[in-house]
Structure 1
Amino acid sequence: MEAAPQVGGLADAVFDHASATPDKVVLGCKDASGVWRDVTAAQFRDQVLGLAKGLIAQGVRFGDRVALMARTRYEWTLFDFALWALGAQSVPVYPTSSADQVLWMLHDAEVTACVVEHEDHAMTIGSVVDRLPRLQRLWQMDAGAVEQLTEAGAEIDDEVVHRHRRAVTPESVATVIYTSGTTGRPKGCVITHSNFMFETDMLVGRWESVFHSKPGDEASTLLFLPLAHVFGRMVEVAAIRSGVKLGHQPVLQASALLPDLAAFRPSFILAVPYIFEKVFHAARRKAEADGKAGAFDKAADVAVKYAEALELKAFGLGPGPSAALRVQHQFFEKLVYTRVREAMGGRVRHAMSGGSGMDRRLGLFFEGAGVTVFEGYGLTESSAAATANPPERTKYGTVGMPVPGTTVHIAEDGEVWLRGGHVFSGYLNNPQATQAVLKDGWLATGDLGSLDADGYLTITGRKKEILVTSGGKSVSPAGLEERVRAHPLVAQCIVVGNDRPYIAALITLDPEAVEHWLAIQGRPPLTPAELVRDPVLETEIRRAVVAANTLVSQTESIRTFRILAHPFTEEHGLLTPSLKLKRKAIEQAYATEVDALYA
């Protein structure tokens, strides 16, 4: 697939769509009463233009960096495209960032203005503003920032914005996205307009057919991934450039997300494995509460077998589902599978998953339940996806094949190297770190993987996360952790064992799942301290560990584990904003518990 010649910048799509199809609905926006309202291409263009004029009136200039600190919401996309229309660069900041993290990013990026969501964010900025001499402006979304800026720019001629916009080239910097920092200080990835154009146009060109619930219907997606993360940002850009109707949802909790999925009814979604795990476990808990756990488990097994048969057929290795399996599958369609799809809004038939590894069985279950989940892989440094499973031949348990225009190479030590138009230009103010990852046009990812005979990539771990026991055995923790986490009662798992005689694990619990599990058994609620000592619970978690150990040799297996009373949280500095484990921080925080595993 050839990439179209790139011209201009990302904001051009807003104006082009408004000229070509002014009345087409391109976004959905919730009003103050919580009702979804349609936004046409012409309305969005007018809002972007008005906001861009306001930013110019308030002193934002071509090449300036402006921080965006907010949850996923309509105004973020509005600010993104207004900034790109005048050639400014947006610097996303996670809304949960600490004052110290904010200080580092805004200082490193030499940010001149900042947009925050609400007063708490404004106070975070305010606590470090005396050490940010370049920061001149601060606007607050919840205090009417869009309206104030639009009013401030009302007297500026539209042509002023267009002159700025025409000066933007594909090589212009669009955004500086800071890595989540599992080790050390976050590094600013410099992403150009060209990087995002290449990435999104290649993805849309290859996967556009799966954006629809059925041929010919309106394509729409509800974005609930954080816009401070490259995955969410790629979805935003791809939707606006391709005319897919885009909605925003700021809360990942099921209680807030599920009603919006039902109201917005997206035709496809993009998510992290955590979301698919939540949907599956919530469906199973409901079945168990209704006394139908046995039927649900049987339906899950049938879905997996059905999907495996389809997978084998796609690769020319089998005839497809047998007649008996098709009958069983049809039986559970209305009973179970329809309800699983209804939990995602009812129209979703395809989804994309990234950010971390997805359990093969979970992917097969969703395929059998009528939702094909295309797992992909990428980094901030590759402007999101570099590989993804193709629509016609999904191979579960892998992260698919290179996205068109991308080349994947496995180095001698097993490291995954990437090449393509989406690879970033380097880290801001950090030539040493840039040289460490960019090698003759290749991006050395730091991830370990393998390519199979069909060209599908499997990620096996991180180079920096390989554990080496005192006996010299190298162990990649990712697969073990993923399998333990597949148990409905488990929230998180971290495998330890570096310079130790054997592998062990720290495990946290899902409070909602545990509460349900106790109720099903007719037992009263237990305190966290009681839970970690509960022998019945320990037996249940041991099953998850035994299942994980079937994946590896005896020397690589988890010999012992400790259940922890509280989950690892971002607030305690144990998770990155994208929910990745900060291994060193966790091992330091739980040094006593780790030592006890080897006592």
Structure 2
Amino acid sequence: MNLAEILKNKIEKSPSQVAIGHSRKGRPIHYNFFDYGEELRAYILAMQTLGIKHGDRVAIMGSNSLEWHLTDLSLMMMGAISIPIYPNTIDSEVIEIVENTGADYFFCQDKQQYSQIKKVAQKVQQFILFEEELQTTDIPKNISFLSDLLAQSKNQELPTFSEISNYTSPDDTATIVYTSGTTDISKAVMFPQSALVAFLENIAIFMEGKITTKDCSLSHLPLSHILGRCDSLLHLSLDSHVFFGNGTTSFINDLSATKPSFFITVPRILEKMKERIENHIAAKGLLFKKLYETNRAISKNYHSKIASGQGPSTLEKQAYIYSQKYFFKPIKDQISPHIRFIVSGGAPLSKSLFYFFQDLGIPILEGYGLTETLGPCTFNPFEKPKAASVGIPLPHTEIEIDDDGEILIKSPSIFSQYLSGEYDDAEFTDDGFFKTGDIGHLDEDNYLYITDRKKDLIITSGGKNVAPQKIEVLMCERPHISQFMVVGDKKKYLSGLVGISKENFRELFEDGLLKSHLSVEELASRVGIQELIQMEIDDVNKLLPKYEQIRHFRILPIDITDNRQFMTPSGKVKKARLYNKFTALVDSMYHD
């Protein structure tokens, strides 16, 4: 079985079922599986006309779009190797990726992106733009446009899916994906065709009977990120269809337009949604806020009774149903009137976010995986999601905990090797389990909990082992702290680097307590802001044992929220890079 055969079976079984959708000039357009297949056949012929062959390495760099997805999938179906690149990658890093991977072909978005990385055109055999808007007198001969390639193939005979199914074998490399580099070292991870098929089959088994043809997901995470990429392929194994939005920046507008029943996202997006809803509630006045708190208490009580196994009484059930129908439904409808659940991954989900959406009647199903595992290898079940847990293993996936607490994984969707060398034995146990580098444990129900990254563990000079992730998640739940990085390895006590954003102080700007023109650097130096952050850190310290408490902190002089130099696309801090940049700030907390 390969990707082409999976799609061939879908087309034969349900040709008129909706497969995908996207927006063109503000108007939603949907494709059924038959038309979707025709588009892919045309793309494959266009790629072949361009000269792309089996085994050729092809880079794709661009914003989320239907063209991005069709290019990616058609390349993998025809046996070429797709290499996604984040759209905001600087030109020197793009050139390095092209040279390291040996990419001969390069797809990019438009003239704006081309102008930023035009040196790359000199490094590849062919450079192709998705959008035909390049107006310059010195267009290199190796530049072409996707629309022209598709037009050239229009009157030619398209390859059949029976033919396309023979283009690849299970061991052929389908894609090379770069890790996010939280330790400042990105690795190029190679996946065979069989890994993608195994991922889709595992998801199909786990979700059997829970997703129907009425379900629609909204794809908004970067398609260059492993989570967004997996999201873009789910319609091949599930009965739902996927709508390709315009990325995270237009996510709220896309939600309103598409009204999905579920979507896959990261905690940073959920935090912004929570803030938006809470601001809406606050704007309705004190009485409405009191009603909100009362209805949340009803929901909390209902769910706590279920979690304890005790079960709610008839009166409590009726109160919950009434609360959901008459109070929370209008709030849910702001997200989507059809929303059933939300999937979270890519970074740790705080308990407060889990319970907030649960109280609204929207369960968050958190999953866990790494680039090397091709996305999720554990997932919270619909029937009983647990806060702070990343769920149970997917089918055909084994999870073990090593003696030092490291999480070990064995799965058919595991990567084949790193681009830098052969299958690295140092990354695997003798019996074939992948060493994730994450620390965690399994509970009595086989739910997995992540404690921290093994490399991030802190050992104080007093010999105390500290897992900083728990502290950092608690800190980021405070209203004015965007990011928090615990430091203190080999030191007497723990300290922290605090990331702030002007967005977090909006109420102070609106009330005239702060001038709106103040920069983040100016905010960070204000005594009042430092006192506010100190109060929030003190609140968290009360929840921690003494050796885990934060004694000193420094506020970063820049907003790193959307800064790819210091943040991964899924919202995790690149700790090594941040530490190296602000070593002086860290040192200033340890004068004694």
Superposed pair shares fold, TM > 0.5: yes
| Aligned residue identity for 1:142 | E
**Aligned residue runs from structure 1 range 364-383, under 5 A:** 364-383=355-374
Say if 2:344 is the partner of 1:353.
yes
User: 2:227 maps to what in 1?
Assistant: 231
From 480, 497, 509, the counterpart of 2:500: 509
Q: After alignment, is 570-579 or 111-120 more displaced?
A: 570-579
- Cα shift at 1:189: 1.0
- Cα shift at 1:392: 1.2
User: 2:285 maps to what in 1?
Assistant: 291
Structure 1 counterpart SS, 2:418: coil
- Seen in structure 2, the aligned counterparts of structure 1 residues 325 and 41 have a Cα distance that, compared at 3 Å, is closer
Deviations 1:442-472 (A, max 9, x none): 1100000011111111100001111222223
Structure 1 counterpart SS, 2:482: strand
User: 2:73 maps to what in 1?
Assistant: 81
Equivalenced residues, count: 576
**Aligned residue runs from structure 1 range 386-405, under 5 A:** 386-405=377-396
| Aligned residue identity for 2:304 | E
User: 1:157 maps to what in 2?
Assistant: 157
Structure 1 counterpart SS, 2:171: coil
User: 1:107 maps to what in 2?
Assistant: 99
In 1, Cα distance between equivalents of 2:507 and 2:496: 24
Question: Residues 333 and 369 of structure 1 are in contact (CA less than 8 Å); yes or no, is this contact kept in structure 2?
Answer: no
- Seen in structure 2, the aligned counterparts of structure 1 residues 547 and 397 have a Cα distance that, compared at 3 Å, is farther
User: 1:28 maps to what in 2?
Assistant: 21
| Aligned residue identity for 1:304 | K
| Aligned residue identity for 1:269 | F
In 2, Cα distance between equivalents of 1:526 and 1:329: 47
Say if 2:143 is the partner of 1:143.
no
In 2, Cα distance between equivalents of 1:471 and 1:187: 35
Structure 2 counterpart SS, 1:559: strand
Structure 1 counterpart SS, 2:435: strand
Say if 2:375 is the partner of 1:384.
yes
In 1, Cα distance between equivalents of 2:544 and 2:334: 35
Structure 2 counterpart SS, 1:552: coil
**Aligned residue runs from structure 1 range 421-500, under 5 A:** 421-431=412-422, 434-439=424-429, 440-500=431-491
User: 1:18 maps to what in 2?
Assistant: 11
User: 2:538 maps to what in 1?
Assistant: 546
Say if 2:44 is the partner of 1:52.
yes
In 1, Cα distance between equivalents of 2:215 and 2:402: 39
Structure 2 counterpart SS, 1:167: coil
Q: After alignment, is 488-497 or 566-575 more displaced?
A: 566-575
Structure 1 counterpart SS, 2:191: strand
In 2, Cα distance between equivalents of 1:513 and 1:384: 31
Q: After alignment, is 417-426 or 169-178 more displaced?
A: 169-178
- Cα shift at 1:325: 7.9
User: 1:93 maps to what in 2?
Assistant: 85
In 2, Cα distance between equivalents of 1:359 and 1:305: 19
User: 1:168 maps to what in 2?
Assistant: 168
User: 2:142 maps to what in 1?
Assistant: none
Q: After alignment, is 533-542 or 261-270 more displaced?
A: 533-542
Structure 2 counterpart SS, 1:597: coil
Q: After alignment, is 535-544 or 324-333 more displaced?
A: 324-333
Say if 2:259 is the partner of 1:268.
no
- Seen in structure 2, the aligned counterparts of structure 1 residues 334 and 537 have a Cα distance that, compared at 3 Å, is farther
User: 1:116 maps to what in 2?
Assistant: 108
Question: Residues 521 and 558 of structure 2 are in contact (CA less than 8 Å); yes or no, is this contact kept in structure 1?
Answer: no
**Identical aligned residues as a percent:** 26
Question: Residues 357 and 482 of structure 1 are in contact (CA less than 8 Å); yes or no, is this contact kept in structure 2?
Answer: yes
- Cα shift at 1:227: 0.9
User: 2:299 maps to what in 1?
Assistant: 303
In 2, Cα distance between equivalents of 1:203 and 1:511: 40
Structure 2 counterpart SS, 1:431: coil
Question: Residues 306 and 368 of structure 1 are in contact (CA less than 8 Å); yes or no, is this contact kept in structure 2?
Answer: no
Structure 1 counterpart SS, 2:280: helix
Structure 2 counterpart SS, 1:386: strand
Structure 1 counterpart SS, 2:438: strand
Structure 2 counterpart SS, 1:587: helix
Q: After alignment, is 452-461 or 483-492 more displaced?
A: 483-492
Deviations 1:101-160 (A, max 9, x none): 212222221111011112233234422454x3xx21111112284321212333543248
Cα RMSD between the aligned structures?
2.4
Structure 2 counterpart SS, 1:493: strand
- Seen in structure 2, the aligned counterparts of structure 1 residues 324 and 46 have a Cα distance that, compared at 3 Å, is closer
| Aligned residue identity for 1:360 | K
Structure 1 counterpart SS, 2:237: helix
- Cα shift at 1:494: 1.1
In 2, Cα distance between equivalents of 1:428 and 1:187: 8
- Cα shift at 1:62: 0.8
- Cα shift at 1:35: 1.2
| Aligned residue identity for 1:174 | A
| Aligned residue identity for 2:92 | D
**Aligned residue runs from structure 1 range 65-76, under 5 A:** 65-76=57-68
Point out where structure 2 has 5 or more consecutive residues left out of the alignment: 134-144
User: 1:312 maps to what in 2?
Assistant: 308
Structure 2 counterpart SS, 1:270: strand
In 2, Cα distance between equivalents of 1:208 and 1:558: 46
- Seen in structure 2, the aligned counterparts of structure 1 residues 514 and 570 have a Cα distance that, compared at 3 Å, is closer
Structure 2 counterpart SS, 1:67: strand
- Seen in structure 2, the aligned counterparts of structure 1 residues 306 and 275 have a Cα distance that, compared at 3 Å, is farther
In 1, Cα distance between equivalents of 2:317 and 2:530: 36
From 248, 267, 281, the counterpart of 2:275: 281
Say if 2:547 is the partner of 1:555.
yes
- Cα shift at 1:172: 2.1
Say if 2:178 is the partner of 1:178.
yes
| Aligned residue identity for 1:90 | S
**Aligned residue runs from structure 1 range 129-140, under 5 A:** 129-130=121-122, 132=123, 135-140=124-129
| Aligned residue identity for 2:221 | L
User: 1:409 maps to what in 2?
Assistant: 400
- Cα shift at 1:28: 1.1
| Aligned residue identity for 1:371 | I
Question: Residues 303 and 365 of structure 1 are in contact (CA less than 8 Å); yes or no, is this contact kept in structure 2?
Answer: no
From 236, 248, 251, the counterpart of 2:244: 248
| Aligned residue identity for 1:386 | C
Question: Residues 62 and 164 of structure 1 are in contact (CA less than 8 Å); yes or no, is this contact kept in structure 2?
Answer: no
In 1, Cα distance between equivalents of 2:303 and 2:415: 37
In 1, Cα distance between equivalents of 2:98 and 2:73: 20
Point out where structure 1 has 5 or more consecutive residues left out of the alignment: 1-6
In 2, Cα distance between equivalents of 1:257 and 1:598: 42
In 2, Cα distance between equivalents of 1:543 and 1:333: 38
Question: Residues 4 and 164 of structure 2 are in contact (CA less than 8 Å); yes or no, is this contact kept in structure 1?
Answer: no
In 2, Cα distance between equivalents of 1:241 and 1:428: 28
- Cα shift at 1:425: 1.0
Question: Residues 72 and 224 of structure 1 are in contact (CA less than 8 Å); yes or no, is this contact kept in structure 2?
Answer: yes
Deviations 1:351-404 (A, max 9, x none): 211111111232122122111111110011111111111111211111111111
- Seen in structure 2, the aligned counterparts of structure 1 residues 358 and 326 have a Cα distance that, compared at 3 Å, is farther
